[in-house]
Amino acid sequence: MADGNATPTTNGSGQAGDKRPFERLIHPGGKGKTRNTPKGRQLPPEAQDEIRELLGDRSRQGDMLIEHLHLIQDTYGCIHYRHLHALAEEMRLPMAVAYEVATFYAHFDVIEDGEPAPPPLTIRVCDGIACEMEGAHEILNLLPREVGEHVRVVRAPCVGRCDTAPVAEVGHRFVDRCDVQTLARAAESGEQEPEVPEHIDFDDYVAGGGYTVLRECLNGQRAPDDVVQALSDSKLRGLGGAGFPTGMKWGIVRKQTYPRYVAINADEGEPGTFKDRWVMERDPHRFLEGVLIGCWATDASACYIYLRDEYPQCYEIMERAIERAVAEGLNGTCAVYLRRGAGAYICGEESAMLESIEGKRGLPRHKPPFAAEVGLWGKPTLTNNVETMYWVRDILEQGADWYAGHGRHGRQGLRLFSVSGRVKDPGVKLAPIGITVRELVEEYCGGMQDGQQLKAYLPGGASGGILPESMADIPLDKGTLEEYGCFLGSGAIVVLSDRDDVKAAALNLMRFFEDESCGQCTPCRCGTEKSRKLMERGEWSRDKLGDLSTVMHDASICGLGQAAPNPVDCVFKFFPEDVR
Residue 469 pLDDT? 97
8 A C-beta contact, residue 119 and residue 109: no
Alpha carbons within 13 angstroms on the beta-carbon side of residue 289 total: 26
d(CA 488, CA 508) in angstroms, rounded, equals: 19
Query: Does the pLDDT value for residue 381 go beyond 80?
Result: yes
Identify the band that residue 31 occupies on the pLDDT scale cut at 50, 70 and 90: low
The string over 257-271, giving b where at least 16 C-beta atoms fall within 10 Å of a residue's C-beta and e elsewhere, is eeebbbbbbbbbbbb
d(CA 466, CA 457) in angstroms, rounded, equals: 6
Query: Does the pLDDT value for residue 26 go beyond 70?
Result: no
**What are the distances in angstroms from CA 101 to CA 35, 120, 345, 524, 526?**
32, 23, 15, 20, 21
Overall average pLDDT of the 500-516 stretch: 96
Q: What is the dihedral of CA 189, 194, 199, 204, to 10 degrees?
A: -100
Query: Does the pLDDT value for residue 290 go beyond 80?
Result: yes
Residue 14 pLDDT? 38
The 3-state DSSP class for residue 14 equals coil
The tens digit of pLDDT for each residue in 133-180 reads: 999 999 999 999 999 889 999 999 999 999 999 999 999 999 999 999
Query: Does the pLDDT value for residue 425 go beyond 90?
Result: yes
Long-range contacts from 141-148, C-beta under 8 angstroms, 24+ separation: 142/180, 143/180, 143/183, 143/184, 146/180, 146/181, 146/183, 146/184, 147/123, 147/183, 147/184, 147/187
8 A C-beta contact, residue 33 and residue 12: no
Query: Does the pLDDT value for residue 10 go beyond 50?
Result: no
Alpha carbons within 13 angstroms on the beta-carbon side of residue 561 total: 26
Q: What is the DSSP string of 51-87?
A: HHHHHTT----GGGHHHHHHHHHHHHSSEEHHHHHHH
The 3-state DSSP class for residue 285 equals helix
Alpha carbons within 13 angstroms on the beta-carbon side of residue 469 total: 11
* Sign of torsion over alpha carbons 235, 239, 242, 246: negative
Overall average pLDDT of the 7-23 stretch: 39
Task: Burial-class residue 170 by CB neighbours within 10 Å (0-12, 13-18, 19+).
Answer: buried
Check residues 11 and 376 and name the one with the higher pLDDT: 376
Overall average pLDDT of the 210-217 stretch: 98
Radius of gyration of the chain (CA): 26
If you ran DSSP here, which 8-state letter would residue 378 be given? G
Identify the band that residue 240 occupies on the pLDDT scale cut at 50, 70 and 90: confident
8 A C-beta contact, residue 65 and residue 71: no
The pTM is what? Answer: 0.91
* Sign of torsion over alpha carbons 123, 124, 126, 132: positive
If you ran DSSP here, which 8-state letter would residue 112 be given? -
The 3-state DSSP class for residue 426 equals coil
Residue 151's H or E segment, with its range, is strand 151-156
Beta-bridge partners for 154? 124
Share of the chain above pLDDT 70, in %: 93
Residue 22 pLDDT? 42
Residue 33 pLDDT? 59
The 3-state DSSP class for residue 15 equals coil
Give residue 473's Cα distance to chain centre. 31
8 A C-beta contact, residue 91 and residue 64: yes
Query: Does the pLDDT value for residue 568 go beyond 50?
Result: yes
Query: Does the pLDDT value for residue 552 go beyond 80?
Result: yes
**Over the chain, what is the mean pLDDT?**
92
Query: Does the pLDDT value for residue 575 go beyond 70?
Result: yes
The tens digit of pLDDT for each residue in 55-110 reads: 999 999 999 999 999 999 999 999 999 999 999 999 999 999 999 999 999 999 99
8 A C-beta contact, residue 151 and residue 192: no
Residue 522's H or E segment, with its range, is helix 522-536
Long-range contacts from 221-230, C-beta under 8 angstroms, 24+ separation: 222/396, 224/254, 224/296, 224/297, 224/298, 224/299, 227/293, 227/297, 227/396, 228/254, 228/297, 230/395, 230/396, 230/399, 230/400
Domains along the chain with CATH numbers: 45-111 (1.10.10), 121-189 (3.40.30.10), 202-400 (3.40.50.11540), 409-497 (3.10.20.600), 501-579 (1.20.1440.230)
Residue 242 pLDDT? 82
Identify the band that residue 478 occupies on the pLDDT scale cut at 50, 70 and 90: very high
Query: Does the pLDDT value for residue 404 go beyond 70?
Result: yes
The string over 389-411, giving b where at least 16 C-beta atoms fall within 10 Å of a residue's C-beta and e elsewhere, is bbbbbbbbeeebeebbebbbbeb
Identify the band that residue 330 occupies on the pLDDT scale cut at 50, 70 and 90: very high
Pick the range with the lowest mean pLDDT from 12-21, 263-272, 378-387.
12-21
φ, ψ for residue 393 (rounded to 5)?
-60, -50
Pick the range with the lowest mean pLDDT from 40-49, 123-132, 224-233, 243-252.
40-49
**What are the distances in angstroms from CA 336 to CA 80, 329, 351, 356?**
31, 11, 19, 17
